Amino acid sequence: MTAALLYPFILVAGALQAIGNAMNAQLRGRMVNPWLAATVSFLPIVFVFTTLFFTMPTPLPSLDSLSKMPWYAPLGGLAGAVAVFGGLAFIDKVGAGPFNGLTLTANILTSLAMDALGLFGLQAAGFKPMPWLGGLLMAVGVIFIARSGGRSDGGEGHGEGHGMSGKLLYPFILVAGALMAIGVVWNAQLRGALENPWLAATVSFVPVVFVFALMFLLRPSPLPTRDDIAGVRWWMPLAGITGAVAVFAGLLFVDKVGAGAFNGLLITANLLTSVALDHFGWFGMKQVKAGPPRLIGAAVMVAGIVLISLF
């Protein structure tokens, strides 16, 4: 019963994750430079989690727990940040539905592979046909959603947006989704080693800000104009924080509700919110009506998620 009480929070985290991708796309448009946009997106996260850690500094990790921490555990945030950067750079080209559908499918298939093979310290569960059938259904659902991504509200194509140029980005988006799943596992191991969830979240995101800030210093152009800065809405720099809610939820709740139930709830909320973002054109997204192909694709993906979560 205690685990079930966490479900609403996980659903909200999944919805915020999808909204964060759309917000990041708008931030990227105003900041012009993608590295600057990514730095601006992640800086508030580090500030918030650092403040919370200084407010609640206990418990602290022991030397024994630190010595057992895998070398890659602090890089979980950086792995997951690849998907955030993909949202900054590409979501306006492929649409929120296809982008999130591809990343989530790659995410869940990678999660199934890690569970089956026991990668990154997970206990090997072996091959289970029903979850993999669910993964196949998710891939089919993505095809339905992505194939409908080239029609806007007025029925006219946008070559620079959802057309063939966007489809060429699909391999990168799939890799980003796979890294997102790996990042969740790494973050869970970081949380176990550092004990304090606020410290773990801070350590997870600090390398992200460092890398993006370094890339911006190496490639500082183009820079936004005064008009670009004037067009920044108050909510745009908060995009990273909305996505960080899902990361923090994973740090806290995966061991309480189970990885299958957690990812199933998170992905379901993310997917349905993504389709809604495209359908209504929220947060500046190009409006793509959720016609029969998209609705069928969403239903098939939800069915796949159910199989993965239950079996």
Where do we find the tokens 């988006």? 173
**Which residue, among 52, 54, 106, 101, has the nearest Cα to 79 in the 3D structure?**
106
More confident position, 286 or 13: 13
pLDDT band of residue 14 (cuts 50, 70, 90) is confident
pLDDT (tens digit per residue) in 150-195? 444 434 444 444 444 567 788 888 888 888 888 878 887 888 889 8
CA atoms within 13 A on the CB side of 136: 6
Q: Taking each helix axis from N to C terminus, what angle separates 7-31 and 259-280, rounded to the nearest 10 degrees?
A: 50
Positions of E strands within 113-235: none
Using pLDDT thresholds of 50, 70 and 90, give the confidence band for residue 54: very high
Percentage of the chain with pLDDT > 90? 13
Average pLDDT over residues 255-264: 70
Tell me the CA end-to-end span of the chain in Å, nearest whole number: 19
Higher pLDDT, 274 or 151: 274
Q: Calculate mean pLDDT across residues 8-25.
A: 84
**304 versus 160: which is more confidently predicted?**
304
Which residue is it, tokens 């931030």? 27
Q: Report, as an integer, the average pLDDT of 233-254.
A: 82
pLDDT > 70 in the chain, percent: 89
Higher pLDDT residue, 74 or 144? Answer: 74
Per-residue pLDDT at 238 exceeds 90: no
Whether 297 shows a pLDDT value over 70: the answer reads: yes
Q: What CA–CA distance (Å, rounded) separates 89 from 165? A: 13
Sequence letter at residue 59: P
pTM of the model: 0.76
Q: Which of the two residues, 43 and 161, has the higher pLDDT score?
A: 43
pLDDT at 53 over 80: yes
Query: Could you report the per-residue pLDDT of 79-113, keeping only the tens digit for each?
Result: 888 877 877 777 777 777 777 778 878 888 888 88
Q: What average pLDDT is seen over the chain? A: 81
Per-residue pLDDT at 219 exceeds 80: yes
Average pLDDT over residues 271-282: 83
Q: Which two tokens stand for residue 284?
A: 């500046």
What would the mean pLDDT of 15-25 be, rounded to a whole number?
83
